């Protein structure tokens, strides 16, 4: 930040202060020009227009003239009483009579010096150069010495009158230093003003400010766009004459902020915040920031899209849940009641009953619906990975950790909901840390000793008998009671057979809507046949079956729907008279599941992943079933 200074001098001052001016020029980037009165004003205007200098320095008659014609700071030499006394004593060595000459006004300190020296010292003030020269000629005739500024001393020298320059070296140095500090302060103020203007001009919000009288002082480009007005037509005018509706005078009169209010400006709706400007507990103005609602909605949509990409938004609500059966209506009603609380919920139900669908619906029905929804499948992660994912970790927490560390899922869920699916699969070592989160609503990252408070709602889910796991010491009892504040049981598909028709139509609409009309006539018979099946995979299995059925129907006539339905359901071709009728006619549920799982496993050559896919269940569910039920 280079500061440039210019001294408007006179040749007498320049000559007498040559050494000190040379020193100051190097130190403060000071230029010197000999010019007074009209010539000084002419040059000052030129330099101001070009922006060449940050401050001017001058003395005597030049200062007041320059200040009248330019905005650049003009600093004068400060003459002290000591400077005046020193100069008078110097002249008295040459002559008994001394005159002090000043521009336009007398020097008040001279009276004290007269008393101090007990002598008569004359004082004269001039306004024009002609008047000055006449006075100097008169003093020559009176044999009187002169103490004054450089111009006066120059003329006195011309008429061979004893004279002494009133300015000291110290006065010149202090004037230059003062000019530098003043210019530096003004430059910083201008830089701040430019920065402020840039911020205001490029703000995405409209900004209007006014002073304590209600006069508009700021009207940025975004305000121009939204209001449909040009800043020049608004700034400097009363707010109520230029801006429609926002009622900013209310804030100016009351001093009370008004936030998140919606107004209509023409055809545009805006969201506006208005606050008073307070200085020393006094209202000195007010400022309003606002955006048009359409822009806010677009930004919100973009944010939600980004969150969707990260999987942190709940996509489903209660209206996505299909079912009119008594069991389902009661379950949905209870879930809605739970949604209005912040208590932890445990959702229990078989695999494929829609536990995450209910968790998302509860979130979107709660006051946290605008916050994140973070879903975690606890069975899909190893113990070490689950811990670092849930709680996050600090830099260098373990080998392979990110250098910058990682935020945990509990922190990401702040202000929203975290859904812990298959919560019973969390290892006991991690369960103790989870208990702390539920009790204290605090998280400590792996490798850190810093406590991070989190505002979260926890929804857990399991398809296992969690009470039995507690008895077997496979799940902490204290954690069970923490997550089981509110318990929601989801009915299995076999307990809501009245919903088959709606579910099938919805699934057909999802996978092949062109077949809806063709299948509607057969729907009662299809539902009757499907109702006798146990549906161990519940909705997930039903969807897989419907998708397979729709694919098969494309290659067979609809009249063969029974054959196609059986093949879609069991994954094998049905040859008439060569199938187990008990599977279609309702054998005991456990036997049916066992026969079905065994058959599909044989068909896949023992490939459990493929068998699980065909059955519409998770591989973990299939593995657990065989572990608990298969006879070796």
Element (H, E) at 166: none
Q: Is the pTM of this model over 0.75?
A: no
Where in the sequence of the chain do the CATH 3.40.50.10660 domains occur? 92-165
Whole-number pLDDT of residue 571? 59
Where in the sequence of the chain do the CATH 3.30.450.20 domains occur? 203-292
Q: What is the band of 302 on the pLDDT scale with cuts at 50, 70, 90?
A: low
| pLDDT of 404 strictly over 50 | yes
Tokens representing 300? 């919100």
Render pLDDT for 590-615 as a digit per residue (tens, 0 to 9).
444 566 677 777 778 888 888 777 66
Whole-number pLDDT of residue 595? 62
**Is 161 strand, coil or helix?**
coil
Q: Report the CATH fold assignment for 203-292.
A: Beta-Lactamase (3.30.450)
Where in the sequence of the chain do the CATH 3.40.50.2300 domains occur? 5-77+172-185
Q: Identify the CATH class of 311-489.
A: alpha beta
Q: What is the band of 95 on the pLDDT scale with cuts at 50, 70, 90?
A: confident
Let me know the angle formed at the C-alpha of 528 by 523 and 534, rounded to the nearest 5 degrees. 120
Whole-number pLDDT of residue 470? 95
Render pLDDT for 409-449 as a digit per residue (tens, 0 to 9).
988 888 899 999 999 999 998 898 899 899 989 988 888 87
Whole-number pLDDT of residue 572? 42
Whole-number pLDDT of residue 519? 82
Q: Regarding predicted confidence, which is higher, 376 or 450?
A: 376
What is the mean predicted confidence (pLDDT) over 367-377?
91
Render pLDDT for 478-528 as a digit per residue (tens, 0 to 9).
999 999 999 999 999 999 989 998 998 999 888 888 888 888 888 888 888
Tell me the C-alpha distance between 57 and 30, whole Å.
10
Whole-number pLDDT of residue 588? 36
CATH 3.40.50.2300 fits 5-77+172-185, yes or no: yes
Let me know the angle formed at the C-alpha of 362 by 359 and 365, rounded to the nearest 5 degrees. 150
Q: What is the band of 245 on the pLDDT scale with cuts at 50, 70, 90?
A: low
The runs of H, that is alpha helices, within 311-366 are 326-339, 355-364
Closest of 584, 585, 586, 346 to residue 485, by C-alpha: 346
| pLDDT of 587 strictly over 50 | no
The beta strand positions in 23-169, using DSSP E, are 30-34, 55-58, 74-76, 98-103, 122-126, 145-148, 163-165
Whole-number pLDDT of residue 304? 53
Fill in the DSSP letter of residue 551: H
Tell me the C-alpha distance between 306 and 313, whole Å.
9
Q: Are 542 and 353 in contact (CB under 8 A)?
A: no
| pLDDT of 298 strictly over 80 | no
| pLDDT of 205 strictly over 80 | yes
Task: Provide CATH code, domain 92-165.
Answer: 3.40.50.10660
């Amino acid at each position: 930040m280079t500061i440039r200074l210019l001294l408007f001098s006179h040749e007498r001052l320049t000559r007498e202060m040559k050494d000190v001016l040379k020193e100051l020029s190097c130190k403060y980037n000071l230029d010197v020009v000999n010019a007074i009165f009209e010539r000084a004003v002419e040059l000052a205007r030129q330099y101001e227009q070009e922006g060449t200098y940050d401050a001017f320095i001058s003395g005597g008659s030049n200062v007041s003239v320059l200040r009248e014609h330019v905005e650049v700071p003009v600093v004068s030499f400060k003459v002290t009483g000591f400077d005046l006394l020193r100069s008078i004593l110097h002249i008295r060595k040459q002559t008994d009579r001394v005159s002090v000459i000043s521009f336009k006004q007398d020097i008040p300190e001279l009276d004290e010096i007269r008393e101090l020296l007990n002598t008569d010292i004359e004082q004269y003030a001039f306004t024009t150069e002609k008047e000055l020269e006449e006075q100097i000629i008169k003093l020559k005739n009176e044999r009187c010495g002169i103490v004054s500024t450089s111009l006066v001393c120059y003329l006195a020298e011309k008429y061979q009158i004893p004279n002494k320059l009133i300015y000291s070296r110290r006065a010149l140095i202090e004037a230059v230093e003062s000019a530098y500090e003043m210019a530096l302060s003004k430059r910083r103020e201008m830089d701040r003003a430019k920065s402020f203007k840039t911020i205001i001009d490029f703000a995405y919000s409209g900004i209007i400010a006014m002073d304590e009288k209600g006069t508009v002082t700021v009207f940025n480009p975004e305000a121009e766009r939204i209001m449909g007005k040009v800043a020049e037509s608004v700034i400097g005018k009363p707010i109520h004459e230029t801006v429609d509706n926002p009622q900013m005078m209310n804030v100016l009169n009351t001093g009370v902020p008004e936030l998140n209010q919606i107004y209509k400006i023409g055809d545009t709706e805006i969201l506006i915040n208005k606050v008073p400007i307070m200085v020393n507990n006094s209202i000195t103005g007010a400022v309003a920031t606002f955006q048009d609602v359409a822009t806010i909605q677009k930004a919100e949509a973009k944010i939600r899209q980004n969150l969707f990409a990260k999987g942190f938004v709940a996509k489903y609500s209660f209206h996505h849940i299909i079912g009119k059966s008594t069991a389902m209506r009661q379950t949905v009603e209870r879930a809605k009641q739970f949604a209005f609380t912040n208590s932890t919920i445990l959702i229990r139900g078989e695999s494929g009953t829609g536990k995450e669908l209910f968790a998302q619906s509860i979130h979107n029905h709660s006051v946290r619906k605008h916050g994140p929804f973070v879903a975690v499948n606890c069975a899909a992660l190893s113990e070490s990975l689950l811990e670092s994912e849930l709680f996050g970790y600090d830099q260098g927490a373990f080998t392979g950790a990110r250098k910058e560390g990682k935020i945990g899922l509990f922190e990401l869920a702040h202000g929203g909901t975290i859904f812990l699916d298959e919560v019973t699969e969390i290892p006991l070592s991690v369960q103790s840390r989870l208990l702390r989160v539920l009790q204290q609503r605090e998280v400590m990252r792996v490798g850190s000793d810093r406590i991070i408070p989190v505002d979260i709602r926890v929804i857990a889910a399991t398809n296992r008998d969690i009470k039995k796991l507690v008895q077997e010491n496979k799940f902490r009892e204290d954690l069970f009671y923490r997550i089981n504040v509110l318990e929601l049981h989801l009915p299995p598909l076999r307990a809501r057979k009245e919903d088959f028709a709606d579910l099938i139509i919805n699934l057909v609409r999802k996978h092949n809507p062109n077949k809806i009309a063709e299948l509607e006539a057969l729907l009662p018979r299809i539902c009757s046949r499907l109702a006798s099946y146990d549906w161990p995979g519940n909705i997930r299995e039903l969807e897989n079956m419907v998708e397979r059925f729709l694919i098969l129907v494309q290659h067979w006539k609809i009249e063969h729907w029974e054959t196609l339905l059986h093949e879609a359901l069991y994954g094998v071709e049905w040859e008439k008279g060569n199938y187990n009728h008990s599977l279609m006619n309702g054998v005991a549920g456990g036997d049916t599941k066992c026969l079905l799982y065994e058959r599909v496993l044989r068909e896949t050559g023992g490939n459990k992943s493929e068998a699980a896919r065909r059955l519409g269940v998770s591989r973990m569910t299939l593995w657990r079933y065989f572990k608990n039920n298969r006879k070796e």
